[in-house]
Structure 1
Amino acid sequence: MEGLLDHVLRDVLTRAGGVDLCVSEFIRVSGSLLPVRTFHRYVPELLNGGKTPAGVPVRVQLLGSDPTCMAENAARLATLNPPGIDLNFGCPAKTVNRHGGGALLLKTPEVIHDVVSAVRRAVPAHIPVTTKMRLGYEDQSLTLENALAMQDGGSAELVVHARTKSDGYKPPAYWEKLPAIRQALRIPVIANGEVWTVADFHRCREVSGCEDVMIGRGMVANPGLALQARGLPGLDWGALAPLVEVFWGKVDSSILPKYQSGRFKQWLGYLRRAYPEAEQAFMDGRTYKEMNEIAALMLRSMRGEAALVGAPA
C-alpha cells in the first residue's frame, strides 16, 4: 500500500509475528528501465536475501501497462533474486489510473494478459510471478475475464481485493464474490479487503472459501492480528513498546526529517482503531512537531508513565 506499508512497517509488523509473506509497495514502471538502486530503495530487503530482518519473504510489486517495459524491468529485478514478482492490477488511485495503470486495466483483460505473459516470459522459472486485482473498475462485469487473463498469462497466484475501483475502500468487501473466481481458476486465490479483526479473518475465510488471506490496513491497526488469526494471543498496548522503538530507529535512519513526525502520527492514527489507549496518545500528540516528542509520548503511554510534553524518551 503506497505511502503506508513500506519497508519500515514491514520490518516492524513482521517482528510482531504470524506473517507468512509480504508484498512490497508498488514500484511504478512507466516507459524506462529502472536502475537497480530504485528496487533497493523501495525494497531494501533485496539486500537481505529478499527477507525482512524477521525472516519473512517479500515479493516485489510492479505496476505498469506496457508489456515490453514491464518485462524489461521484471528481468532486471529478477537479477536481484526476489522471492517473487507481483503485478498490481488493483490500485484505485486517480493519478495511477490516469496514466493507464492499476485498476484501469481491469477494463481491458487482453492487455492484462499481455502484461502478465510478457513478464512471465522475461523472468526465470524459479521466480514466481503473481497478481493482484479488484473485482472490476466501475462494475464486476469483467471479473472472471480478468482473473482468467492473469492465470492464462502465467500468474501463479491471484490476490483479489473484493471491491471495485469505484468502491474504493468503503465497506463492505464483497467476499461472497470470491467462490466463483476460485471455481473458475486452477491457481490459488487469496482473499483481501476489510479484514480488521480476528472475527473478520474467520468470516472472510468462511464466506470466500479461500484458505489464505492478505491483510493490509488491519495489520497496521493491530500488529498482533496475524498472531490472533493463528489462535495465539495478540499484543496488548504495552507489548507494542519494542515495536515502536524499532519503528523510531527505522524512521530516523531512512526518512527525511520533515516527514518523520507525520509517519508516527499516521501509524498512531491507525492504532486508535484497535487500542483505546492510542486515542489519548493521539489527542495528546496532535500538536507535536518533532518525531522524538511523538515517539516518547507513545512509549510513555505504553509503559504506563505520565506524559511529559516535549521531553525526550
Structure 2
Amino acid sequence: MRLVLAPMEGVVDYLMRQLLTDNGAFDLCVTEFIRITNTLLPEAVFLRLCPELKNGGHTRAGTPVFIQLLGNDPVTMADNAARAAELGALGIDINFGCPAKTVNRHKGGAALLKEPDTLHRIVQSVRQSVPAHIPVTAKMRLGFEDKSLAVENAVAIESAGADTLTIHARTKIEGYRPPAHWEWIGKIREHVSLNIIANGEIWSINDYQRCKMASGCSDIMIGRGAIAQPLLATRLKSLQDTDSTMPDWLETRALLVQFAQTVLHSPQEYLEHCNIREPGRYLADRCKQWLGMMVRCHEGAATLFQQIKRETCPETIYRTLLT
C-alpha cells in the first residue's frame, strides 16, 4: 500500500503538509496547484507554493513532494514543468480534476476531460520537457458531465507517457457528493497498464477495504479524510481495526494545539517561509476550517467548533484549544 496526501487547494498548504506527514505514514504528497497561463513563472512562485524545494523536495519528515501544475496550453505547461524540475522538483503532477467553476471556466482542471486529445498533448509535452528520471503523474475525475470518456481519457494520459494516474471516482458534476464510484476505477484498469491510485470518499479503514475491492487498487490518495481524521493514515498503514469506535480525540486535539503553537510562536522568518503573512487571521481561518471538517469523525470537534466559530482573536482561539 502507498498512501498519498491529496493536493487540496486552500487546505493542504506547506504547514499542513508538514504536520500531516510528520508521523511518516504518507509515502508522497502533492502541492496545491500552480496555475499556468501564458508565461514562464519565476522561481519565487514555485518556492512560495512548494517551500520543500529548499529541503531537497521533501517535508521535514522526509516525505517526497510533487509539484502540481494546472493549465491548458501544452507549451507553457512544458516550460513551467522544466522550470520546476530545474529547481529540484521530485515529480510533476498535472491537474485534470479540479471542479472549481472559476478554473473550469478558463478551460482548466476537470473541463479538459471533455478533450482527450488535449490531455494527451499536455502530458506528452510535459513528459518530453523534464528529465526521464523525474516522474510525470496526472490526476483526473471520471468525467465532466458524465463518465462516457473515462476510459478514453485514461488511455490518452497513459499513451502520452504518464507514470502514474490518480483517479477521483466522481465526475465534475457529482462534485464531492457520495458515493464515490470506485468500480469505475476497476473498469478503467482493464484498459491501461500504468499504476493507478484510487481517490474519493475514503474516511475509514472500512472505506479503504471496500475501495480496494471495488477498484482493484491498493494505492490510495486521501484528502478530506486525512483532514477530518489526521490519524487515519497511520491506522491505514497498520490496518488497525478502529472503525467500531470514535478515533482518539485527545491525540487529534493535540495536533490542533501544535498547529496553533507553530503559527503563534514561530519566528517571523519561519512564518514567511511557510507563506503565512497574517498569522492571526491565518490561524483563525484555518482552525475553523479544520474543525469544521473534523466534525464528521469527532464528537469533540463539534463542541470546539461551536466555541470558536465566531471568535477572531487568535490568542483566545489558542486558549480554547488548550482547555
Aligned partner of 1:59: which letter?
F
2:287 counterpart of 1:287: no
2:260 counterpart of 1:248: yes
State the identity %.
50
Segment of structure 1 superposing worse, 289-298 or 98-107:
289-298
Tell me the CA shift for residue 182 of structure 1.
1.0
Tell me, yes or no, if the aligned pair for 2:143 and 2:170 is still in contact at 8 Å: yes
Tell me the CA shift for residue 17 of structure 1.
3.8
Counterpart secondary structure, 1:114: helix
Instruction: Describe the shift of the 1:109–1:25 C-alpha distance in structure 2 as closer, same or farther (beyond 3 A).
Output: same
**Matching residue within 109, 112, 121 for 2:119:** 112
2:176 counterpart of 1:164: no
Tell me, yes or no, if the aligned pair for 2:231 and 2:252 is still in contact at 8 Å: no
Tell me, yes or no, if the aligned pair for 1:163 and 1:173 is still in contact at 8 Å: yes
Aligned partner of 1:147: which letter?
A
- Alignment partner, residue 48 of structure 1: 55
Aligned partner of 2:15: which letter?
V
Segment of structure 1 superposing worse, 87-96 or 241-250:
241-250
- Alignment partner, residue 81 of structure 1: 88
- Alignment partner, residue 249 of structure 2: 237
**Matching residue within 18, 25, 40 for 2:32:** 25
**TM-score (norm: length of structure 2):** 0.89
Aligned partner of 1:248: which letter?
A
**TM-score (norm: length of structure 1):** 0.92
Counterpart secondary structure, 2:142: strand
- Alignment partner, residue 203 of structure 1: 210
Counterpart secondary structure, 1:278: helix
Aligned partner of 1:21: which letter?
L
- Alignment partner, residue 258 of structure 1: 281
Tell me the CA shift for residue 231 of structure 1.
2.6
Aligned partner of 1:151: which letter?
E
In the TM superposition, structure 1's runs of 4+ consecutive aligned residues that sit over 6 Å from their partners are none
Tell me the CA shift for residue 246 of structure 1.
3.5
- Alignment partner, residue 299 of structure 1: 322
Aligned partner of 2:310: which letter?
T
2:192 counterpart of 1:192: no
Task: State how far apart, in whole Å, the 2-side matches of 1:97 and 1:4 are.
Answer: 19
Task: State how far apart, in whole Å, the 2-side matches of 1:80 and 1:298 are.
Answer: 38
- Alignment partner, residue 97 of structure 2: 90
Instruction: Describe the shift of the 1:260–1:197 C-alpha distance in structure 2 as closer, same or farther (beyond 3 A).
Output: same
The count of aligned residue pairs is 300
Structure 1: tracts of 5 or more residues without a match: 301-313
- Alignment partner, residue 139 of structure 2: 132
CA deviation profile, 1:28-76 (whole Å, cap 9, x unmatched): 0011111111111111111111111111111110000000000010010
Task: State how far apart, in whole Å, the 2-side matches of 1:67 and 1:291 are.
Answer: 44
Tell me the CA shift for residue 290 of structure 1.
1.7
Task: State how far apart, in whole Å, the 2-side matches of 1:242 and 1:268 are.
Answer: 13
Tell me, yes or no, if the aligned pair for 2:281 and 2:314 is still in contact at 8 Å: no
Tell me the CA shift for residue 251 of structure 1.
3.7
Tell me the CA shift for residue 177 of structure 1.
0.6
2:274 counterpart of 1:275: no
CA RMSD of aligned residues (A): 1.5
Tell me, yes or no, if the aligned pair for 1:194 and 1:200 is still in contact at 8 Å: yes
Task: State how far apart, in whole Å, the 1-side matches of 2:24 and 2:132 are.
Answer: 30
Task: State how far apart, in whole Å, the 2-side matches of 1:138 and 1:150 are.
Answer: 19
**Matching residue within 174, 186, 206 for 1:179:** 186
Task: State how far apart, in whole Å, the 1-side matches of 2:319 and 2:221 are.
Answer: 32
Counterpart secondary structure, 1:164: coil
Tell me the CA shift for residue 180 of structure 1.
1.5
Aligned partner of 2:251: which letter?
A
Aligned partner of 2:96: which letter?
F
**Matching residue within 132, 144, 151 for 1:144:** 151
Tell me the CA shift for residue 152 of structure 1.
0.8
